[in-house]
Amino acid sequence: MNFEMMCSSIAGSLPPLFTCSPAPDEGVRVRTPLMYPDGGVVDVFVLRRNGGLKITDFGESLGWLRTQSVSRRISPKQNRMIGDVCRTLGLELERGQLLLRVSADAAVGDSVLRVAQGAVRVTDLWFTLRTRVAQSASDEVHEWLTERRITHERGVKRTGRSGRQWTIDFETRTGNRTALVFLLSTGSRGAARRITEHVVAGCVDLSHLRESQQLTLVSLFDDTQDLWQKEDFQLVEQQSEVALWSSPDGFERLLQAAA
């Protein structure tokens, strides 16, 4: 199966958002519409191997997850969860790569999609790295919203332009005004920028809701610990309204004024 035949097979079984280009080692790179938590695009590679095909992420997923930890290691709990992802999708884990081995005449599109889904599920395990500090801050915000009698829901899911589903910490409603609130909280300076980039990616992907549903996107920084840099605020304020947990009155005014 040559390059043209591979791409034709993929194009015939996947939506147009999946695109092919030549890759080293006599294969093709499939650029998918799926994304890593920081907004990076998931690429999957289809290579010829031993008369069949090998579909792999080339280790990008586990590599990305490893870099999100200050220790650069994957925890035993995460390893168990990665194993569950592989078993669910029928993937192999070999030298850090998520992969499938199929015959040369197999449905390549289905295999590409399974590896891409595995990449997204594995990197989403990043959320298990969020510390108790973040959960504690979330509970505090919930209690504060309840005391102020601001109607809200926690853990709201919304679908972005890319088709990715995002979990937003809070959705608040004040009169006919609605806001989606991302809470940026961590006990680790090393994780601060990654959280910022994740929120920016979410705001960009959900930006269409501002007009279609007249929602306001709000980024609430838990600044009770001095972990955030000036650049973190600058990145986020380009895509959302910014509030500080150290100034709850200002946060409330922002929610009340959200249009």
Compute the distance between CA of residue 158 and CA of residue 206 in angstroms, rounded to an integer.
8
Task: Characterize the bridge pairing of strands 52-56 and 92-94.
Answer: unpaired
Q: Single out the residue in 108, 126, 144 at which a domain terminates.
A: 126
pLDDT tens track for 63-76: 988 876 655 677 77
- What total number of domains does the chain contain? 2
Cα 242 to chain centroid, rounded: 21
DSSP-based three-state secondary structure for 55: strand
Task: Characterize the bridge pairing of strands 165-174 and 151-159.
Answer: antiparallel
What is the gyration radius of the CA atoms in the chain, in angstroms? 21
- State residue 27's pLDDT score: 83
Same domain, 253 and 188: yes
Token duo for residue 211: 């007009």
Compute the distance between CA of residue 74 and CA of residue 52 in angstroms, rounded to an integer.
31
pLDDT tens track for 51-60: 888 999 999 9
Q: Write 18-26 long-range contacts (CB < 8 A, 24+).
A: 18/109, 18/112, 23/47
Same domain, 7 and 119: yes
Same domain, 16 and 104: yes
pLDDT tens track for 108-148: 888 999 999 999 999 988 766 554 455 678 888 998 999 89
Range of the domain at 204: 132-257
DSSP-based three-state secondary structure for 134: helix
pLDDT tens track for 153-205: 999 999 999 999 999 999 999 887 899 999 998 877 778 888 999 999 999 99
Same domain, 173 and 193: yes
Tell whether pTM > 0.75: no
pLDDT tens track for 77-93: 788 999 999 999 999 99
Same domain, 187 and 137: yes
Token duo for residue 21: 């280009």
- State residue 135's pLDDT score: 63
- State residue 133's pLDDT score: 52
- State residue 202's pLDDT score: 94
Same domain, 119 and 226: no
Same domain, 242 and 155: yes
What residues pair up with 188 in beta bridges, in sequence order?
Answer: none
Compute the distance between CA of residue 7 and CA of residue 239 in angstroms, rounded to an integer.
36
Q: Assess contact for 30 and 49: CB atoms under 8 A.
A: no
CATH number at residue 152: 3.40.1350.10
* The length of the chain, given as a count of residues: 259
CATH number at residue 78: 3.30.1460
Same domain, 106 and 137: no
Same domain, 169 and 218: yes
Same domain, 145 and 98: no
Same domain, 47 and 93: yes
Q: Single out the residue in 126, 153, 176 at which a domain terminates.
A: 126
Same domain, 97 and 122: yes
Compute the distance between CA of residue 33 and CA of residue 164 in angstroms, rounded to an integer.
9
